[in-house]
Amino acid sequence: MQSPTPRNPGTPLDLDWVLAAHVNKSAVERRTATLPGRRTVKKDWQAAWLLRAVTCMDLTTLSGDDTPGRVKRLCAKARQPIRPDMLERLGVKDEKITVGAVCVYPSRVKDAVEALKGTGIPVASVATGFPAGQTPLPQRIAEIEQAIEAGAREIDVVISRSHVLTGDWKSLYNEIKQFRQTCGEAAHMKTILATGDLATLKQVQQASLVAMMAGSDFIKTSTGKEAVNATLEVSLVMVRAIREYFERTGHKIGFKPAGGINSAKQALAWQALMKEELGDEWLMPDLFRIGASSLLTDLERQLYHYITGHYAAKHHMPMG
């Protein structure tokens, strides 16, 4: 994360703030229900927004059958996410259009670092017992250390959901703070709340606040492995927590929805949410990422349609 945004130093745990959290579920549902249809971006502006979405992607592979070859192919796509002939027709052939990062398991970090050498594209690694976070704490911390040693510059950590479900905010704060201290200055830290495992939107807001107080640089919705991953409802609650934290502390926290976002239409809805709730600054990759893989294919197809007036077959835009 080559970021001009100062890092979040965190704050002491403020339990009064956390316990005072309140979410109006019906208001959240009304707000998000109208967002995809009401906020449409057309013509030239849509192409610009789609290109911006590409630059905010954490291009991800987190599968049990990941191989060095698969990671290298993904990294090739990360370096050139949009076909050169399309970039030329869009008038941006001289712009450096790459994804925001490539996200892999710790064991594949070295492969990705090697494949991305010289590009400036950071490698992100999941860690801390991803996706369930049920391994012993020393082992989870060791995963962060190993990923950083292998060359990861961003770490996506998972929390112990039990701390949230039982309201043990002090333990959650201490856990995340240890993760942040382990990342140090070597890596930015994204904290995955796994919102699909949490019981209420209020818990999502409370966990968001605690994660930011503990020093998270980003808060992230999901691992992509839960039954329910990123939704506009939990995203609205999380970005409003980011806004509240910024208003109280002056520290800007990034946001990453992940899991289930596979169409350009969905990406535009999340971009609209960021613009309306947090402002244009949160449309840039140092404060906004989308965790996805298949999304890139649809973004490229929509850009092709903008250029030519018809859709290309998916096999004309391979992932790598």
| Complete DSSP assignment for 255-298 | EE-BSS--SHHHHHHHHHHHHHHT-GGGGSTTTB-EEESTHHHH
256 carries an active-site annotation: yes
* Locus of tokens 């050498």: 117
> Is 156 noted as a catalytic residue in this protein?
yes
Give dist(CA 129, CA 160) in Å, integer: 10
- Amino acid letter at 293? S
CA–CA dist 221, 192 (Å, integer): 6
How many Å apart are CA 242 and CA 5, to the nearest integer? 14
Contact 149, 133 (CB under 8 A): no
Name the nearest CA neighbour of 62 among 257, 258, 221, 265: 258
Query: Which residue of the set 77, 190, 252, 256 is catalytic?
Result: 256
Please identify which of the residues 111, 156, 197, 298 carries the catalytic annotation: 156
| φ and ψ of 49, to 5 deg | -70, -40
Compute the distance between CA of residue 244 and CA of residue 233 in angstroms, rounded to an integer: 17
Quick one: three-class SS letters along 158-198? ECCHHHHHCCCHHHHHHHHHHHHHHHCCCCEEEEECCHHHC
Residues 6+ apart with CB under 8 A from 26: none
* Active-site residue, selected from the candidate residues 220, 252, 286, 298: 220
CA distance 27 to 23: 8
Active site residues: 156, 220, 256
